[in-house]
Amino acid sequence: MHFAVLQFPASNCDQDCVHAVRMLGHTAELVWHKDTSLGAASAVIIPGGFSYGDYLRCGAIARFSPVMQAVQRFAADGGMVLGICNGFQILCEAGLLPGALIRNRDLQFHCEQVFLQTANRATPFTRSIPEGRPLRIPIAHGEGCYFADDATLDRLQANRQILWQYCDQTGRLTDGSNPNGSVRNIAGIANEGFTVAGLMPHPDRASEALLGSSDGRWIFESMVAALAEGSKGGGVAAAQSLGAAELQSR
Amino acid sequence: MKAKIVITPKKAVLDPQGKTVQNALEHLGYQGVAGVHVGKYIEIDLQPGTDPAAARKALDEACHRFLSNPVIEDYRLEIAD
């Protein structure tokens, strides 16, 4: 599989994402924000950082960059897109994911390990995550408080689009384990078709034991497995075939 | 001619900055503060001779599409001399 990792002025996790993909034995290349093509990418990763200095709002300027117009077309065709941290903020600003990310409730920048409960394991972004154990993955953000109105949240919940929620190390969703005040402890979500997902924590910074945790690797492995399964039809086919498999297994 | 744009967090959105400023005002002894909302102010200089109605229409679109995020923010746009 071949991943396109976007690179904006002030992206700072672009190389980490490339490294995480290559460690899985797949290829990744950086795509500059002024490029209008994603090349032969099977999937896109929008990495963390502070694109365009976070000016105006995080992701507000990046969403209008030439490369994001290519991502819009890629996503409209059912291509798989993962946004991490600033990448999640960009996807929300671009309207590819619902809601917005606002200042952490305590106004502090949080750089720490958190635990994540995987709320839906039947998606192309979560299918390889083992059941029953929270993921230990770091966050590093000042504006990671997920917000959406109640109608949107109810829709996300009903469609099982909430993929990850902040929890304590035993997997309980507590207020104390919510580092930024996100509504319903939301750390990451997907679009309705489960082809676009975003999360504030950094799986790229938890993808090998040397980094203190390799739990993030399961997210990249999930994407690779889904792509392999739906390699002819892209992410939508992968999502749909996975949904069918999930139904059969019940 | 200038466009003056005030962007504020929506009432339903958590505004920790506003709350912190409110607490500080109370701490400093300023009485009667019922709420504080911290937003942004953007001033745009328009070229001389710009048609105010056309500028308002274009900037209203810019506010909705780019300068504010309607999910979390409200805006007020004023065209002034």
Question: Which residues of A are less than 8 Å from B17 in CB distance?
Answer: 103, 107
ipTM of the complex: 0.90
- pLDDT for A248 equals 40
What is the count of structural domains for chain B?
1
CATH code: domain of residue A220: 3.40.50.880
Question: In this structure, are residues A90 and A51 in contact, taking their beta carbons and an 8 Å threshold?
Answer: yes
- pLDDT for A234 equals 44
- pLDDT for A111 equals 97
Contacts 24+ apart (CB under 8 A), A151-159: A152/A98, A152/A99, A153/A183, A153/A184, A155/A98, A156/A98, A156/A186, A156/A189, A157/A184, A159/A192
CATH code: domain of residue B49: 3.30.1280.10
What is the count of structural domains for chain A?
1
Identify the domain containing residue B29 by its residue range: 2-80
pLDDT of A245 > 90? The answer is: no
Query: Average pLDDT in the A58-80 region?
Result: 97
- pLDDT for A236 equals 52
- pLDDT for A230 equals 83
- pLDDT for A242 equals 47
Question: Which residues of B are less than 8 Å from A102 in CB distance?
Answer: 9, 13-14, 72
Identify the domain containing residue A163 by its residue range: 2-248
Question: Is A144's Cβ below 8 Å from some Cβ in B?
Answer: no
Question: Is A99's Cβ below 8 Å from some Cβ in B?
Answer: yes
- Residue A231 banded pLDDT, cuts 50, 70, 90: low
pLDDT of A233 > 60? The answer is: no
Nearest CB partner across the interface for B14, out of A56, A92, A181: A181
A174-211 pLDDT, tens digit per residue, is 999 999 999 999 999 999 999 999 999 999 999 999 99
- pLDDT for A246 equals 44
End-to-end CA distance of chain A: 30
Query: Average pLDDT in the A61-66 region?
Result: 97
- For chain A, percent of residues with pLDDT exceeding 90: 91
* pLDDT lower than 50: segments of chain B: none
d(CA A43, CA A2): 7
Give the pair of three-digit tokens for residue A43. Answer: 């999937």
pLDDT of A232 > 70? The answer is: no
A105-121 pLDDT, tens digit per residue, is 999 999 999 999 999 99
Question: Is residue A71 packed enough to be buried (19+ CB in 10 Å), middle (13-18) or exposed (0-12)?
Answer: buried
Question: Is A122's Cβ below 8 Å from some Cβ in B?
Answer: no
Who contacts B27 (Cβ-Cβ below 8 Å, separation ≥6)?
none
* A contact test, residue of B36, B37, B72, B73 with most A CBs within 10 A: B72
- pLDDT for A132 equals 85
Nearest CB partner across the interface for A60, out of B13, B17, B66: B66
